[in-house]
Amino acid sequence: MVRKLLKKLFKFKEEEDIQEELFAKPVYVYDEDPIIDES
């Protein structure tokens, strides 16, 4: 909690913050598209 506040206050980024910013989670093509049941 304190670390979060310090990060916000001093605007510093940790390695994992930078990684999250730079590396988006990819979206794959799947074998079959999901069937949406609208009934």
Partner 1 sequence: MKPQILRQDDIKKFFPEGDLKLKDVFFSDADYAMFTERFLTQEGFQGFKKWLKFCGIESVGQKQYWKRNYDCDNLANAYKTYMNLLHAKANPLSFTQSFKTGKDNETKAQGVAVGVMYFEIKGKKTSSHHAINVAITKGLRNQLIPIFIEPNAAGKIKLTKQERESIWYVNF
Residues that bind partner 1 (CB under 8 A): 18-19, 21-34
Q: Rounded to the nearest whole angstrom, what is the least distance from the CB of residue 27 to partner 1 in the complex? A: 4
Q: Rounded to the nearest whole angstrom, what is the least distance from the CB of residue 20 to partner 1 in the complex? A: 10
Nearest to 3 by CA among 20, 13, 22: 13
* CB of 21 or CB of 38, closer to partner 1: 21
In angstroms, the CA 38 to CA 3 distance is: 46
In angstroms, the CA 1 to CA 24 distance is: 25
Q: Rounded to the nearest whole angstrom, what is the least distance from the CB of residue 11 to partner 1 in the complex? A: 16
